[in-house]
Amino acid sequence: MDNRERAIKAAHYRPVDKLPLTPGGPRESTLARWRAEGLPEGADWYAHILGEAGVPYERPVGYVPHHVDTRMVPTFEEEVLSHEGGHYIVRDWMGAVTEISDEFDYTYIRGAKDFVTRKWHSFPVRDRADWPAMRARYDPDEPSRYPADAGGLRERMEGRGYASRLSVNGPFWQMREWMGFEGLCIALMDDPAFVAEMAEFWRLFIAKVIRRAASLIPFDFLCISEDMAYKAHAMISPAMVREYCAPAYREWGDIARGHGVSVVSVDSDGYVGELIPIWVESGVDMNEPQEVAAHNDVNEYRVRYGRDMAYGGGIDKRAIAAGGAVMEAEVRRVVEPFMRAGGGLLPGCDHGVPPDISLGNFVEYTRLLAKLTGWL
């Protein structure tokens, strides 16, 4: 059994020889610490961790060997509007005016390279008047969205031992990028018809991209990025999620499965207890990263929802940082019930691995995780 088969079966509570080993991924500040503690410069951190833990190397679950781009085309031209007082103010590639400390290169705005606090000053869609110009940037037939060598890539992916994935933004995530969180919340109250129009546009756009992409390249996981929860509650009401987001989840999942995708996953930080029932209704198979500090408990959810939902993550990053007995108790708390249940979990750190986790503690944690999940 390879990692592809393990990941798919575990997500559907089917028997596996071992649970997939998915300890979590470090950000740049974490890697900087680990290099100071012995990670060789330029080394593949994942291979190094497995080597130090004594675990045989296999390509990580969720590997992305393709180029499928759902971003706007063209993107906005980045422009530094000011640099003073220790801060950059930048018009970023999404058209938002964003402020970031000059402790970081302003290009950190482009993606989740590290744990970086930003401040947003404005967003490209303020109201209906801005919408046509933004909508025009999302042509699902734009050739640059898809791999130039799809035939060769498909051939190279045959017999793959890893689970390949296609990641897309969910409706809430995308509308928040266009309008900002505050702007979107105001629109939900003042102009819900406009929100419905944007959500419908995004549902149709991503549906076309999934069809085209999945006809070119084989995917195993459809991963929907949908951060929509605070520490204790969802950011919008369950009724709003059902109205504006659930239709997309259902349609995208149906399309993906029709093209051979095995698992539909939603990623949301924060407390997702109010959201899991909606995802179950919408045909979602798995949720991650299950942040413990946000009052999520994968074993509580396992009891409540049975085999209707699988989980990724779920291990408290604070316990990994503590190491020793604290770490061991947390890993056993999360993993052992799912091992007895026969699957349903891709266990790992409950978000990006932060820099308070030492290299030594991460190796120790990975070794224990490997032992509990059947790798050692």
pLDDT of res. 264? 98
- Rg for the chain (alpha carbons), in Å? 21
Q: Which of the residue ranges 107-116, 170-179, 329-338 would you say has the lowest mean pLDDT?
A: 107-116
Distance CA 211, CA 183 (A): 31
Q: Yes or no: say if 205 and 136 are a contact pair by the CB < 8 Å rule.
A: no
Distance CA 276, CA 284 (A): 9
pLDDT of res. 65? 64
Q: What is the mean pLDDT of residues 199-207?
A: 98
pLDDT of res. 63? 65
pLDDT of res. 99? 94
Give per-residue pLDDT as tens, 14-42: 999 999 899 999 999 999 999 999 999 99
**DSSP reduced 3-state for 315:** strand
Q: Which of the residue ranges 108-112, 222-226, 315-319, 320-324 would you say has the lowest mean pLDDT?
A: 108-112
pLDDT of res. 136? 98
| CA distances in angstroms from 374 to 6, 62, 212, 371, listed in the order given | 12, 19, 38, 5
pLDDT of res. 103? 86
| Strand extents, DSSP E, the chain | 79-84, 87-91, 97-101, 118-122, 165-169, 221-225, 263-267, 286-288, 310-315, 345-349
Distance from CA of residue 19 to its chain's centroid?
Answer: 19
Joined together, the tokens standing for residue 330 give 């947390």
Distance CA 132, CA 167 (A): 25
The neighbouring-strand residues paired with 80 are: 90
Q: What is the mean pLDDT of residues 188-196?
A: 98
Q: How many CA atoms lie within 13 A of 256 on its CB side?
A: 27
Residues of the chain with pLDDT > 70: what percent? Answer: 98
pLDDT of res. 292? 98
List the Cα angle 274/272/116 in 5-degree steps: 140
If you average pLDDT over every residue of the chain, what do you get?
Answer: 95
Distance CA 67, CA 123 (A): 27
Distance from CA of residue 26 to its chain's centroid?
Answer: 14
Q: Yes or no: say if 343 and 16 are a contact pair by the CB < 8 Å rule.
A: yes
Letter string b/e over residues 295-313, b meaning 16 or more CB atoms within 10 A of that residue's CB: ebebbebbeebeebbbbbb
Distance CA 127, CA 30 (A): 40
pTM recorded for the entire structure = 0.95
Letter string b/e over residues 247-283, b meaning 16 or more CB atoms within 10 A of that residue's CB: ebbbbbbebbbebebbbbbbbbbbbbbebbbbbeebb
**Can you spell out the DSSP letters for 126-169?**
-SGGGHHHHHTT--TT-GGGS-TTHHHHHHHHTT-SS--EEEEE
Q: Which of the residue ranges 55-59, 73-77, 250-254 would you say has the lowest mean pLDDT?
A: 55-59
Question: Hey, what long-range contacts does 367-372 have (CB within 8 A, 24 or more apart)?
Answer: 367/53, 367/54, 367/55, 368/327, 368/328, 368/331, 369/21, 369/23, 369/315, 369/331, 369/335, 370/21, 370/53, 370/54, 370/55, 372/331, 372/332, 372/335, 372/336, 372/339
